[in-house]
Chain A
Amino acid sequence: MQPFIEFDGVDHGYGAEGPLAVQDLHVSIGEGEFAAVVGPSGCGKSTFMKLTTGLQFPRAGTITVAGERVTKPVRMAGMAFQAPNLLPWRTTIENILLPLEIVPPHRQQFRAKKKEYRERAEALLERVGLKGAGDKHPWELSGGMQMRAALCRALIHQPKLLMLDEPFGALDAFTREELWCVIRDLHAETGVTVILVTHDLREAVFLADRVFAMSARPGRILAERRIELERPRDLELTYTAEFQSLVHELREHIVTARK
């Protein structure tokens, strides 16, 4: 089967002569798979994101997404970052609808189907536990609530690919675990392919089907670990010995990478 995302010998650095940020990446991710990328800070995780979504193009090697070589922004990725980046002049629901004003075919139908789209957004809000918060402005929401709204924005156009760049880094531990469950369930329900960039190993092991550990700059894939833990996974799982040993094993790789 053709993988959904494939990196073949990818090198990339910024500027024409700048040092390499990532080197010799070989990655293939299947459709519907949940992949996590972990590594020390500055290991080129964000570069990996930009390459996948077509915001940057590799110096060497090829990247294929959904059977097509990436030569322009992929147009189907939903993205969420550590900062929610909601627009303060829009209400939460208007923020969530933003991608539909941009992605075809929705942008052409946006006026005509506004009601339907709003209902879709309301349903997503309810899904992430923000029911009734749609008419508030983002600054009236807490950090965790803003992150939930940012997730809705990343999902509203029903993307085939969801890219998460340390989305829970700024949240407290309890909110973070709650959001893990939200992501877990959304992935299970929609079958979206997810790439999660994180430095939280527990997060990676809990959520992902496969974890890639990257080295320090220039980032290379040091290890690829399939997580065979049965789904659906419960938060209790994170306290089991099996889980701990997986986290430990990944940690070894990262520690070696930092030396």
Chain B
Amino acid sequence: MNRQSLFLRISPIASLIIVLALWELTVIVFNIPGYLLPKPSTIFAAIVEYWPAILRESTYTLVTTMVGFGLAVVFGLALGLLVGYSATIYAGLYPLMVAFNAIPKVAVVPILVLWFGIGAVPAALTAFLISFFPIVVNVATGLATIESELEDVLKALGASKLDIMRKVGIPRALPYFFGSLKIAITLAFVGSVLSESVASNHGIGKFMMMAQAQFQVPLIFAGLFVLGFMGIAMYLVMAWIEKRMTGWAHRSGFSN
């Protein structure tokens, strides 16, 4: 491993350590009270102290999020293919989808609770609702940007629209699809935690709400840290899948 790639490897960890150290130092130097901004060391102590509860609640949130995310992948892919396949369907559905995406999901949670009761179902559905839009848009974009000359080559051979979709459109849309998963997974966490903090008896969202009610500020931050960690972990999983599935699309040496 040469010097440059060594720096590349340690730079994410180094930046994290630097930020935490600056944070710790700022709190000490300016003598900020712990109920406003606890020190990172206090937060880590709280994580260790409440580990069993944190582990239980965050697992719950993770499962809920993944269920919602899974739904988003299935529906997002299907809808994206449909919208990208036909200009008519695109014209018909797009305004509806944009309008739907513009609605703050926090406003939808009470309705979901009304229908499904409090708990995991509205949380998973909120995660689904908030994360499927980027998937649809990306898949549809991938399909819509087929080179017209290539389409001509295939049409002159008598290819049907379905042939063109199968041979060119779908493989071409895959990098867009896998790219969108990275955005969708982080949004899915936003959705499930949002719903949990409004209406649930479980999950890290609820956990943070309880910590707030009891004025346990380090625990609130502990919840944030855990969420941040889960977000990064799932993002990395998606990035890994993306690279594995569509390596051909990542051949540029631009950022090296």
Contacts and interface: CB of A to CB of B under 8 A. Distances in A.
Interface of A: 50, 53-55, 73-75, 77, 79-81, 83, 85, 87-89, 98-99, 101-104, 137, 139, 153-154, 157, 163
A102 B248 contact: no
Contacts of A74: 156, 158
A73 B157 contact: yes
A79 B151 CA distance: 11
Nearest to B247: A89
B91 to A, nearest CB: 18
Contact of A157 (B157, B167, B174, B248): B157
A192 B18 CA distance: 69
B156 A77 contact: yes
A55 B155 CA distance: 7
Contacts of B154: 98, 102
Q: Majority SS of interface residues in chain B?
A: helix
A6 B101 CA distance: 54
B163 A102 contact: yes
A137 B246 CA distance: 13
A50 B155 CA distance: 10
9 contacts: A50-B152, A55-B152, A55-B155, A73-B155, A74-B158, A79-B152, A81-B152, A139-B248, A157-B157
Contact of A85 (B147, B155, B167, B249): B147
A54 to B, nearest CB: 7
B18 to A, nearest CB: 38
B9 interface: no
Given A88-B248, A89-B248, A137-B248, A102 B157 contact: yes
Interface size class of B (residues with CB under 8 A): 20 to 34
A103 B158 contact: yes
B207 to A, nearest CB: 44
Contacts, number: 64
A102 B171 contact: no
Contacts of B147: 83, 85
A137 B163 CA distance: 22
Most buried by A among B158, B163, B167, B251: B158
Contacts of A80: 153
A209 to B, nearest CB: 23
B230 interface: no
Given A85-B147, A85-B150, A102 B167 contact: yes
A77 B174 CA distance: 29
B87 to A, nearest CB: 16
Contacts of B168: 87
A201 B150 CA distance: 26
Q: List the 3 shortest-distance A-B pairs measured between CB atoms, nearest first.
A: A75-B158, A53-B156, A85-B150
Contact of B156 (A73, A104, A137): A73
A99 B159 CA distance: 9
A77 B158 CA distance: 9
Contact of B167 (A54, A73, A77, A101): A101
A85 B171 CA distance: 14
